């Protein structure tokens, strides 16, 4: 089974968290699901460097990475994903969607109302349980 390593940002602006929606995809289990933004770690990159690069590429967003949050290993039907999430913050909600079809800034208690990609659910659960 193919293994993919990615990073994801839990981005806070004041008391709200950025949630982005994936576009339609031939894989129904990730098509139009919400996720925390991020992407693949490239050879020679640190996780933090990958996260900075991906956020600039996908959202034209520069963020302060504060700390590691949760690493999730999730098996989708055709690949295994290891996702390292980081707590981040921004000074502004301004961004440009380059790959996603929607964005929402929600409080932690509102997160459970979205249709999340399965690998992102443990991050949502931990955020909600930490309050």
With CA atoms as reference, report the closest residue to 59 among 37, 39, 40, 42.
37
Two structure tokens written together for 62: 């520069």
Please say whether the beta carbons of 88 and 10 come within 8 A. yes
pLDDT band at 52 (very low <50, low <70, confident <90, very high): very high
The mean pLDDT of 60-71, rounded to a whole number, is 97
Indicate if the pLDDT at residue 131 is higher than 90. no
Percent of the chain predicted with pLDDT > 70: 100
Question: How many CB atoms are located within 10 Å of the residue 41 CB?
Answer: 21
3-class DSSP assignment, residue 93: coil
Domains annotated for the chain, with CATH where assigned, are 2-130 (3.90.79.10)
Element at 105 (helix H, strand E)? strand 102-106
Q: Tell me the HSE value of 28 on the side-chain side, using a 13 A CA sphere.
A: 0
pTM of the model: 0.95
């Amino acid at each position: 089974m193919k293994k993919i390593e990615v990073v994801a940002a839990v981005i806070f602006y004041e008391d709200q968290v950025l949630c982005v929606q994936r576009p339609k995809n031939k894989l129904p289990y990730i098509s139009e699901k919400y996720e925390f933004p991020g992407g693949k770690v490239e050879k020679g990159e640190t996780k933090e460097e990958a996260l900075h690069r991906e956020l600039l590429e996908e959202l034209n967003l520069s963020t302060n990475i504060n700390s590691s949050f949760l690493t999730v290993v999730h098996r989708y039907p055709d690949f295994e994903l290891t996702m390292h999430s980081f707590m981040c913050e921004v000074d502004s909600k301004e961004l440009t969607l380059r790959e996603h079809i929607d964005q929402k800034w929600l409080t932690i208690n509102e997160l459970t109302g979205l249709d999340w990609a399965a690998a992102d659910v443990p991050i949502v659960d931990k955020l909600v349980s930490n309050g």
